[in-house]
Amino acid sequence: MVEEEERAKAEEELAEEEEKPPLVVSIKEEEVEEREPPGPPEYEVIYQTPPDKGMVLKYREPPPKDVKPLLVALIVTTLVLPSVLLPDLAAYELSRVICWQEGGFIVLDSSRGGKGFIDGIIKAFTAVRILRIDTKVKPSWECDKSLKVGDKIELPVEEGFYYLIVETEVTYLYFFRTKAYRLVSVNVFPNMRVVKYESKG
């Protein structure tokens, strides 16, 4: 009995559904913006058909790709990045400077190691020269600024603890240079050939 009632109800509902008009969904078209077509003087026309007739047009050989982005990338990688990175490279180089005492002389030895990946990109030459030697016990002493790597410098003291203010100059691409100043502390002992060194950059 219950099943019959349910069936009758379902049939009624179905009949009602069929009587209903089909559901109409209105899709509102997006409003089209009113805007003047692009044209002179803001825009230049490269190719065009007649305004009232479409047709096949010929085009010229496309120009080579704009090299500006490539140029910018080249400048950044060769000029800007090295000037940022190379002072650190110079510090690295400096940490390899070996100082030793030879009868009152310090020899700055350019044992240029260089990191392979930097060498692979840029041909870099590092020049290191001493600007000033400070000591805790003696007044500051300034050596000849024209000294280069490998030059012998006569020390003002025989032994002690020194700060060497050195100027590191990095030349890359053979003509661009960057300079950085580093503080190197050196302990000089009369009977030791190799002295301790450390760099503070």
Partner 1 sequence: MVYDVYMFYDAFLKVIRHAEKHVPKEVLGYLFGNRYKWKDREYTVIKYAFPVRAHASEYYVEPREGELAKMADIAQRKYKVKLMVGWFHSHPGYGCFLSDVDLDSQRRYFFRPYHVALVVDPVRREFAFFKLKGNDYDAVPCQIIRKVKRGWNIGRRGGKS
Sign of the CA dihedral 114, 118, 119, 125? Answer: negative
Binding-site size, partner 1 (CB under 8 A): 33
Sheet containing strand 176-188, edge to edge, reads: 141-142, 124-135, 160-172, 176-188, 197-200
3-state SS, residue 153 = strand
175 touches partner 1 (CB under 8 A): no
Rounded to whole angstroms, how far apart are CA atoms 168 and 174?
16
Shortest CB 68 distance to partner 1, Å:
12
134 beta partners: 163
Shortest CB 61 distance to partner 1, Å:
7
DSSP state of 103: S
Shortest CB 29 distance to partner 1, Å:
10
Among 56, 67, 84, 137, binds partner 1 (CB under 8 A): 56
Interface of this chain with partner 1, residues 17 to 46, rule: CB under 8 A: 32-46
Span of 9-17, 58-66, 109-117, 188-196 interacting with partner 1 by CB under 8 A: 58-66
Return residues touching partner 1 (CB under 8 A): 32-63, 65
